[in-house]
Structure 1
Amino acid sequence: MNIKRSQIASAAALCACQAMMVAHADTSADAAITAADSQQSIIVTGTRASNRTQFDTLAPVDVFSREDIAAVASSDLNDVLAQLVPSYVVQRLPMADGQVFVRPATLRGLSPDQTLVLVNGRRFHRSALLGARGAQAPDLAQIPTSAIKRIEVLRDGASAQYGSDAIAGVINIILDDSLGGELTAQHSQYSEGDGKANELHAKYGFMLGEHARIALFAEAAQSDPTSRTRQRPDAIAFQAAHPALSVPNPVQRWGQPELESQHLGYNATLDLGNELEAYSYGLFAHSDGTSDFNWRNPDTGTSVYKLTTIFPGWDVRSIYPVGFSPQYTNKQNDMQLLAGLRGRLSEALGWDVSASYGRNAIDYGLHNSINASLGPASPTSFYLGRLTQEEKLVNASFNYEWRVAGLSQPVNLAFGAEYRNESYAVKAGDPASYAVGPGAAAGLDANSNGAPGFSAIQSGKWDQDSYAAYADVEVPLSKQATIGAAVRYEDFSEFGNTVNGKLSARFEMTPDFALRGSWSTGFRAPTPGQLNTNSTSQGLDTKTLLVFTSGRLANSDPLAVALGARPLQPEKSKNLSLGLTWKDASGLSGSVDLYNIKLRDRFSTSASFVVPAGVPNPLRYTSVSYFTNDFDTTTKGVDVVGSYLRRLGVGKLNLTAAWNYNQTRIDGGKSSIATNESQRVVFEERLPRQKATFSASYDQGGWSTLVRARYYGSWTDSTGNATGDIFQRFGAMRFLDLAATYKLTAKQSLRFGVDNVLNKYPDEAVFQASRGLIYSRNAPYDTDGRNLYLDYTVKF
């Protein structure tokens, strides 16, 4: 079993663990050797050398095995990483449009699209969703956890090695290629009685003839919604004023969406002889989900309920007498296909050529709604349109082991070239979903109420090409010292070229203790979706409870240009890291890494502008904004990670720990976040500065037990009102998870677990009470309470 030299421990915790283990552990030589050997797992992320391990890599890389991944109950890879990686935070964001289903995740507190995701060492495509501040990141929920052999997380800037997006780090997902089969069925439910979920995971690996190896994967999951909601005060008042009506309680639901998903995939290799190998993988996913929107109150001035002579005798109350909460639907289809050839031109020179295609398409719908401006001609269900992200990539890489006189090991020289095409498309929804009907002249709300559809003028397709060349060298100066350098040139069709570099070094003070550090520049290129699209959104002011409609314009839109929009440029970074790592024969290993990341021209949304009088406003925007290179930041932090594995009695004890401290400050900028104090507070304090995990597992005979403690530091939330933010500070949270597995036979096992055993909830979100919400929608952790699960696994 691979040791995770990455999970969680402050130095004090590690010292305490070591003292306990020294007092109780079996100190036999074979146990020490087993523990030491397990530290030496070969990694492929952050280096192009073929013999780097976690201990001797030049940058911090965490490795999580299939067993580590399976120890987390969720099949959502975001949740898995949130429990395993110290600086990884993912939010649920109920009732936040598309982000309910494509959840934003951050590494080291940076934007979701500033972490590069690879599958088998090749770039994984982005989601079609543009989230907060326009972030467009890969959706890790589309990758089935049952297909994963291990995950490598590089916690260092790597744009000079991999290109755009690798500012915070790189997550490399290695697909399973083992032989044999495994089937797992799981049922889970929250102790509140909701959120029932059923999952089925299957994997089967086999040989086809003597030279082909194929692994097949399949998953199916279904989960009911959760609700942590109180009845809205205005709904209580509405019921009192209309006792003859039966008002639902609650009128709207805050919680996880109803969701169904299916995943299929394969991972295959074919030995063609003469050191030539063909390889391919494919991942396919479909999901279908539904989420609530804010309730529309017939009595409190909502424009949808106005009476007008334009539609004599027509009243929305005849359709929705007790108000309505629109139902927002999300259907996703996702695929990633890759094929390649690799071989050797000589003993020292290897080559690898591959091509990949990725696509994410999201169809949006809205039910239980209306376009009041159309009057009695309005439907109550709408197709809102489709967003599609497509990426094509061709890569050729070479690796040369150059033997130099005087050096005990060869210099590793890697070089290559890459072409990438990225396109983004918007398909218009039903005309009724974005129509401004005749009733708008009398003040009736236009568009499908809750989420306007993509209009014909917003639809289209745009693309961007990029060409890159790169080189990477690692030089072993001696048995103790290694230096590395990388450079990458990349030219983009939409904004020009960029050159990035990286220098790194490692010095081994003893065979078990080393210092390491790196300096690099990085970038994140604007995407076609960010460069070219317009969007419309609706929100609810928690003070006035009135709906407002906002428009986000493309930077090339004449109105946006008139308001100050300029062409988008890449975000650019300078990364500096310094750390130490250690291991010993007793089974103790760990690392401490300091980092400093300076980012300039960060991407954001401009301040909101009222549409000037006399300017055409066909979609009836209350306000408009545009994307901009807005501000600069400095992120500082430290990762402390460690692991201790020893035999204890007749069993094996594994202690892992990790702690991250992360702080981001705004250094300055042009507008919006940089100049607005409310926005600055939200940005700098929206995530906990501290996050930690400690876990202990013990295997003996047929039993395996796990105890995991999770810690999240304090953070600040705001209402997000159109005007006048209200802030609330939330204290630190601690969660305890327990699980036990029993082997029924050599190939069958049963596991029972409880996440959040103590049923902890955060402080209530006081400023959201007007909407019935109990716990903040922006919490960096699950706010649904205790979750119990049972799963059965059989291997064959």
Structure 2
Amino acid sequence: MTNTFSLRAALLLVTSGIALGCALPALAQEADETAQPTEAYVQDAVIVTGTRGAPRTAFDSLAPVDVISGDAINLTVSDEVMDTLAQLVPSFNVKRLPMADGQVFVRPASLRALSADHTLVLVNGKRFHRSALLGSNGAQAADLAQIPSYAIKRIEVLRDGASAQYGSDAIAGVINIILEDKPGTRVFAQAGQYYKGDGEQYRLGAQQGFAFDRGYFNLSGEYTDAQPTSRSRQRPDAEQLQAQFPDLKVPNPVQNWGQAERQAFRFAMNGAYQFDASELYVFGTHGWGSGVSDFNWRNPLTTNTYGNSTVDPNYDLTEIFPAGFTPKFGQDDEDFSLTGGYRSTNAEGFSYDFSASYGLNDIDYFMYESINASLGSASPTSFDIGNLRQTEFNLNADFVYPVALGFLADDLNIAFGAERRLEKYEISAGEYASYAVGPLAAEGFPSGSNGFPGFSPAQAGNWDQESYAAYVDLEAPVTSRWTVGAALRYEDFSVFGDNIDGKLSTRFELADGLALRATASTGFRAPTPAQLFSERITQGLDTTTLNVFTNGRYSPQGPVAEIISARPGVTINPLEPEESQNVSLGLAWNSGFGLTATLDAYQIDVDNRLGTSATYRLTAEERAQLVALGVPSGESITSAFFYQNDFDTRTQGLDLVLSWGRDVGPGNLNLTGAYNYNKTEVRAGSLATNPDTAARFEKGIPGSTGNVQATYSLGNWEVFGRLRYYGEWRDFSDNANGVVYQDFGSMVLMDIGATWKVTDAVSVRIGAENLFDSYPDEATYQANRGLIYSRNAPYDTDGGQYYIRTDIRF
């Protein structure tokens, strides 16, 4: 698809939408001249996250809660919710990670610089399931990209430890996604691309809401087609190959560093039917998608997949890939969640909520333009690598009982409940050729599909973990200005035992509109079946030698762990829960003249943090033991590592959120700003003695981030501008012989947009993200891989992009 055709298609798409809207005169009315601008943070919204008591606003909350409206979500180009959060919540970070295996498609995100699975994700207040992918340092988190952004009414981000209230994973906080429930019909179409002329993205969405006398039902759907980007230079060794063999057609570049190509369908539903004092409710999501990304190029002159074989004289890889090859790695994914329940609707008195939830995340990996060199001439060039599947089933019973006590200013709110959760993880083997150790392995040719060896029957299996929990949560308005809260939760896990966590919180209104709040809590994150038992073999490219090396991650409770533990001074231990202690202190101010502000300081200590152990370079004797045990690709494993609880961290930070809105001139102006300072220190454990590895946690994310957004609404028009700031950070790259790193300076990116309300039913927005096409410093230490900008950057490194969008409401 050419760039010209892409732009014409975009214009045709939007023009058609305008024409459709103008053809609906019954819906076309004069624009509301008093329309309020889109708010990035909504301080007066009633929240449901972090409290089980009477409804309260974000300003009245005992802990900091950001409320992001659906309109603010729609002001971002990306279809993925985590990009919206990263732009609007400074303490939330997400990376692109090109050529990072499955993390290209299931991108890790972090709140307050903690691990991706230290933040609990809820949908309509119910736990959302994890992804099947184990990401950086073994984190297994929910895939926010599976939730269609067009179906979201608002997002509530609780920036405080909440394990005592919600259970495992809520160490950094909670993200609660509230699905749309209002009636009506609306659709949108969006098209855009990067200034460089690539990365075209098309989005289509529709929503239909029904209102009944006794309930509602809302259906939403969204489709995305995103083309890849490439910010690459030709690799120097590819230039040398071309110069040495002028008749070869060496691609330029031989590999693309950038966003993956992907297509996805995402759907959501949300409904309820009310009886006299109770209701049945149901909501869920379903999506499927596909994506493809480049891997590192294999040079025919230096890669050990090439060469002559005496075992198989017919094997000649230069006949198949004369100019080398770049494996294409992809995934087909499906995600499904369904929650149903029965709850009381009585606003006063005893209330209950019984629910059942099921979640599934399924990933099928595939690869083409690759080879299993150990099979020689019998090897295919495309492979079914295998399947990962995560399923969860939750049963919840929640109760709230307000008790009138004469010495309190209002009712004591007592919430209590129980939960049973069953979590299963499954690995299915790929096709034989993807993991086979063929006859040429004895000659040094690598086994398995090159770039990402398939899951073998030895790695395949299914594992589960069951847990039971009970909690009590109290909130007491001691006086009209002073509220205190306390929570206690007990959980018992089938694999490693039980756990108890508690939380204390308080809020005191110093004066009208000025409140002091504080919390102290303990938290935990239980290791998942995938982290406990699964194993994986991966390949990488040494950035110095450009040779392929093979690493194996093995279960800390398996035979490989026993082999390594036989070394003097080395012990590989079974996994245990991570534990945390959180304290926070904050001020909330509602001025009465349009300005609101919150300032919160926090400290989070996480002990027994899960990470990867030291990498143990295998001896020939140990490799022979792996082969004798039948370990897949044991003969070619360069090194082995394990997930371990082996270090402690302390994270300290400060969050500042400001919002101001009022009439300015003939229109209305809304200003919002947010800033986060965050510092993490490795305090103990194996990382404390390894500065390079410790710095990954201490400097891998900017210590300071912030944003300022201005939105001005006048008649039929709304314009907005946003500045995003990212402070200094450090990048790392693993090599076979160690770690190299590079420091990067701060970045400021600007986004703008203008929306024209053609009628009350139709609006058109034109905008740009990274308006000035800013790029960070080049990643000089990876230049020989063709990489220009860091793969681990906490922001998009593809430059500016522009887009156009039409929204129609029927």
TM class by smaller structure: over 0.9
Q: Does the CA-based 8 Å contact 2:329-2:368 persist in structure 1? A: yes
Which whole-Å deviations, capped at 9, do the CAs of 1:346-398 have from their partners, x for residues lacking one? 94100000000000000000100000110111000000000000000000000
1:668: Cα distance to partner?
Answer: 1.0
1:653 to 669, 690, 711: 669
Counterpart-to-counterpart distance in 2, 1:74 and 1:201: 13
Give the structure 1 partner of residue 649 of structure 2.
Answer: 633
1:573 equivalent in alignment to 2:580: yes
2:625 to 606, 615, 621: 615
Residue 304 of structure 1 aligns to a residue whose secondary structure is: coil
Return the letter of the residue paired with 1:587: G
1:226 equivalent in alignment to 2:236: no
Give the structure 2 partner of residue 17 of structure 1.
Answer: none
2:146 to 134, 138, 142: 142
Counterpart-to-counterpart distance in 2, 1:699 and 1:353: 44
1:436: Cα distance to partner?
Answer: 0.8
More moved, 553-562 vs 709-718: 553-562
Question: What CA RMSD, in Å, does the superposition of the two structures yield over aligned residues?
Answer: 1.6
Change beyond 3 A, Cα 1:31–1:481? farther
1:753: Cα distance to partner?
Answer: 0.2
Residue 318 of structure 1 aligns to a residue whose secondary structure is: helix
2:96 to 92, 99, 102: 92
TM-score where L is the length of structure 2: 0.92
1:492: Cα distance to partner?
Answer: 0.2
2:247 to 229, 233, 244: 244
Give the structure 2 partner of residue 192 of structure 1.
Answer: 196
Give the structure 2 partner of residue 26 of structure 1.
Answer: none
More moved, 718-727 vs 784-793: 718-727
More moved, 559-568 vs 770-779: 559-568
1:547 equivalent in alignment to 2:557: no
Q: Does the CA-based 8 Å contact 1:291-1:328 persist in structure 2? A: yes
1:51: Cα distance to partner?
Answer: 2.0
Give the structure 2 partner of residue 21 of structure 1.
Answer: none
1:56 equivalent in alignment to 2:60: yes
Q: Does the CA-based 8 Å contact 1:630-1:674 persist in structure 2? A: no
Match runs of 1:276-315 below 5 Å: 276-300=278-302, 302-315=303-316
Give the structure 1 partner of residue 31 of structure 2.
Answer: none
Return the letter of the residue paired with 1:773: L
Aligned length in residues? 760
1:595 to 602, 614, 629: 602
Return the letter of the residue paired with 1:323: G
1:727: Cα distance to partner?
Answer: 1.7
1:611: Cα distance to partner?
Answer: 3.1
Return the letter of the residue paired with 1:455: S
Give the structure 2 partner of residue 463 of structure 1.
Answer: 464
Counterpart-to-counterpart distance in 1, 2:71 and 2:352: 32
Return the letter of the residue paired with 2:574: P
Return the letter of the residue paired with 1:683: F
Give the structure 1 partner of residue 16 of structure 2.
Answer: none
1:676: Cα distance to partner?
Answer: 2.0
Return the letter of the residue paired with 1:553: Y
1:782 to 785, 793, 796: 796
Which whole-Å deviations, capped at 9, do the CAs of 1:460-483 have from their partners, x for residues lacking one? 000000000000000111011111
Counterpart-to-counterpart distance in 2, 1:447 and 1:625: 19
Give the structure 2 partner of residue 410 of structure 1.
Answer: 411
Counterpart-to-counterpart distance in 2, 1:770 and 1:218: 43
Q: Does the CA-based 8 Å contact 1:219-1:262 persist in structure 2? A: yes
Match runs of 1:73-92 below 5 Å: 73-92=77-96
1:621: Cα distance to partner?
Answer: 1.2
1:67 equivalent in alignment to 2:62: no
1:38: Cα distance to partner?
Answer: 7.2
1:121 equivalent in alignment to 2:135: no
Counterpart-to-counterpart distance in 2, 1:522 and 1:502: 9
Give the structure 2 partner of residue 214 of structure 1.
Answer: 217
1:515: Cα distance to partner?
Answer: 0.3
Return the letter of the residue paired with 1:181: T
Counterpart-to-counterpart distance in 1, 2:290 and 2:35: 49
Return the letter of the residue paired with 1:655: L
Residue 720 of structure 1 aligns to a residue whose secondary structure is: strand
Residue 229 of structure 2 aligns to a residue whose secondary structure is: coil
1:57: Cα distance to partner?
Answer: 1.1
Q: Does the CA-based 8 Å contact 1:203-1:218 persist in structure 2? A: yes
Return the letter of the residue paired with 1:285: G
1:667 equivalent in alignment to 2:688: no
1:616: Cα distance to partner?
Answer: 2.4
Return the letter of the residue paired with 1:174: I
1:74: Cα distance to partner?
Answer: 1.3
Match runs of 1:339-738 below 5 Å: 339-343=340-344, 347-562=348-563, 563=565, 564-612=571-619, 613=621, 614-617=624-627, 618=631, 619=633, 620-669=636-685, 671=686, 673-738=687-752
Counterpart-to-counterpart distance in 2, 1:656 and 1:697: 9
Give the structure 2 partner of residue 161 of structure 1.
Answer: 165
Which whole-Å deviations, capped at 9, do the CAs of 1:83-117 have from their partners, x for residues lacking one? 11110000000000000000010100000000000
Change beyond 3 A, Cα 1:313–1:406? closer
Residue 375 of structure 1 aligns to a residue whose secondary structure is: helix
Counterpart-to-counterpart distance in 1, 2:542 and 2:729: 22
Residue 234 of structure 1 aligns to a residue whose secondary structure is: helix
Counterpart-to-counterpart distance in 2, 1:444 and 1:75: 42
Residue 388 of structure 1 aligns to a residue whose secondary structure is: strand
Counterpart-to-counterpart distance in 2, 1:737 and 1:661: 22
Q: Does the CA-based 8 Å contact 1:199-1:220 persist in structure 2? A: yes
1:750 to 755, 758, 764: 764
Q: Does the CA-based 8 Å contact 2:81-2:145 persist in structure 1? A: yes
Residue 550 of structure 1 aligns to a residue whose secondary structure is: strand
TM-score where L is the length of structure 1: 0.94
Give the structure 2 partner of residue 42 of structure 1.
Answer: 46
Q: Does the CA-based 8 Å contact 2:707-2:725 persist in structure 1? A: yes
1:719: Cα distance to partner?
Answer: 2.1
Return the letter of the residue paired with 1:682: R
1:444: Cα distance to partner?
Answer: 1.1
Return the letter of the residue paired with 2:236: P
Return the letter of the residue paired with 1:603: L
Return the letter of the residue paired with 2:586: G
Which whole-Å deviations, capped at 9, do the CAs of 1:708-764 have from their partners, x for residues lacking one? 000000111122112232221100000011100001111100000011111100000
Counterpart-to-counterpart distance in 2, 1:294 and 1:675: 32
Return the letter of the residue paired with 1:547: V
Residue 79 of structure 1 aligns to a residue whose secondary structure is: helix
Counterpart-to-counterpart distance in 2, 1:49 and 1:41: 15
Which whole-Å deviations, capped at 9, do the CAs of 1:591-625 have from their partners, x for residues lacking one? 00000001100001111113340412341311111
Q: Does the CA-based 8 Å contact 1:31-1:647 persist in structure 2? A: no
Which whole-Å deviations, capped at 9, do the CAs of 1:196-247 have from their partners, x for residues lacking one? 010001111013x532311000100101100000000000000001011111
Counterpart-to-counterpart distance in 2, 1:449 and 1:411: 63
2:785 to 758, 764, 771: 771
Residue 573 of structure 2 aligns to a residue whose secondary structure is: coil
Return the letter of the residue paired with 2:90: P
Counterpart-to-counterpart distance in 2, 1:639 and 1:127: 29
2:105 to 90, 101, 123: 101
Counterpart-to-counterpart distance in 2, 1:309 and 1:107: 55
Counterpart-to-counterpart distance in 1, 2:559 and 2:375: 29
Change beyond 3 A, Cα 1:38–1:668? closer
Return the letter of the residue paired with 2:326: S
Give the structure 2 partner of residue 18 of structure 1.
Answer: none
1:181: Cα distance to partner?
Answer: 1.2
Give the structure 1 partner of residue 18 of structure 2.
Answer: none
